[in-house]
Amino acid sequence: MASAQDLRKRIKSVTNTQQITKAMKMVASARLRRAQAKADATRPYAEKIGQILRHISSSDLQDYVSPLLETRPVKRTCYIVIGADKGLAGAYSSNVLKMAIEQIGQKTPDEYCIITTGRKPKDSLKSRHYHIDKSYSGFSDKPSYEHSRSIMEHALSMYESHEVDEVIMIYTRFVNSMTQIAQAERILPLEQPDDEVKGEEYEFMPDPASVLDALLPKYLEITLYNGLLQAAASELGARMTAMTSATDNAGELISSLGLEYNKLRQSSITNEISEIVGGANALQ
């Protein structure tokens, strides 16, 4: 049975841990609001570019050719795995890793290449002997558009040089602070958008094909950027939930230890009183 001194030390240790998890919860909560606001602000821009692309695709562009729209037999796939730089985020990192391994399946190293963002997916995949072609880190919870552009340039150069035949983004879609869903999305080759009802009319200068040439790379960059923002919000949401749970569990443990400590003190006091009464009776 633990002594009163041991229980006091443990209560102090758990209390210190609770203060740390509570602070981490507050930091994650503040960053989550900013990350969610960024993701929400980016969505209309991405949707508008997609709308313009669909409008152009419904025009008379039968002769238009772009390598980004070219579908070819898939011999090698590039996976962009978006994860966290740090831990303490519940099952966030393990869910991304599970999705990546599921997507790669039984492919041999000459049938895939991997680009990682975040230290966790890089370390986890390396420990499982997957070859990492390129890795980025240091911005998982605060990505910028420049990060997206740099990653996309590398993936695009491999696709255009026929080193890979498709690019799949593996990331976590943010639903709310309690729910984040790991998923895979093919971003190259671009699927030819379906025709949509023409509610707006556009005038393209100098011509639709030139506009499409400029918009397609931007669409890829904003798609990847949105994936990075969704992943950042998911990471912070998962961390906030994990730290909330850890703080609550620490509180319960402190209460339990306090009760055990009080019982031990009460037992000690009772024994002391019994000894005093026994001594007094012996002197009579």
pLDDT along the chain (284 residues), means of 10: 81 92 91 88 81 66 71 92 92 94 92 94 94 93 93 93 94 90 90 54 73 84 93 93 92 90 82 74 70
Question: pTM of the predicted model, to two decimals?
Answer: 0.84
Rg (CA), the chain: 28
Q: Who contacts 172 (Cβ-Cβ below 8 Å, separation ≥6)?
A: 82, 92, 95, 96, 180, 181, 182, 183, 230, 231, 234, 235
Q: Is 211 a member of any domain?
A: yes
Domain assignment present for 249: no
Instruction: Identify whether 13 is part of a domain.
Output: no
Residue 83 makes CB contacts below 8 A (sequence gap 6+) with: 92, 93, 96, 97, 116, 117, 118, 120, 121, 122, 140, 231
Total Cβ atoms within 10 A of residue 266: 10
In a domain, 51, yes or no: yes
Enclosing domain of residue 208: 27-240
Q: Is residue 154 part of a domain?
A: yes
The answer to whether position 35 is within a domain reads: yes
> Collapsing DSSP states into helix, strand and coil, what is residue 32?
helix
CATH number at residue 97: 3.40.1380.10
* pLDDT value at residue 53: 74
Residue 210 inside a domain? The answer is yes
Q: Would you state the pLDDT for residue 99?
A: 95
Whole-angstrom distance, CA of residue 117 vs CA of residue 137: 5
Please report which helix (H) or strand (E) contains residue 46, including its range: helix 4-57
Res 197: pLDDT: 45
Residues 6+ apart with CB under 8 A from 256: none
pLDDT at 224: 93
Strands 166-176, 179-188: pairing is antiparallel
* Residue type at position 121: P
Q: Is residue 10 part of a domain?
A: no
- Count the domains in the chain: 1
List, as one string, the DSSP characters of 183-249.
EEEEEESPPPPPP----S----SS-HHHHHHHHHHHHHHHHHHHHHHHHHHHHHHHHHHHHHHHHHH
Contact criterion met (CB below 8 Å) for 11 and 261: yes
Check residue 284 and report its DSSP letter.
-
Determine phi and psi for 131, rounding to 5 degrees: -80, 130
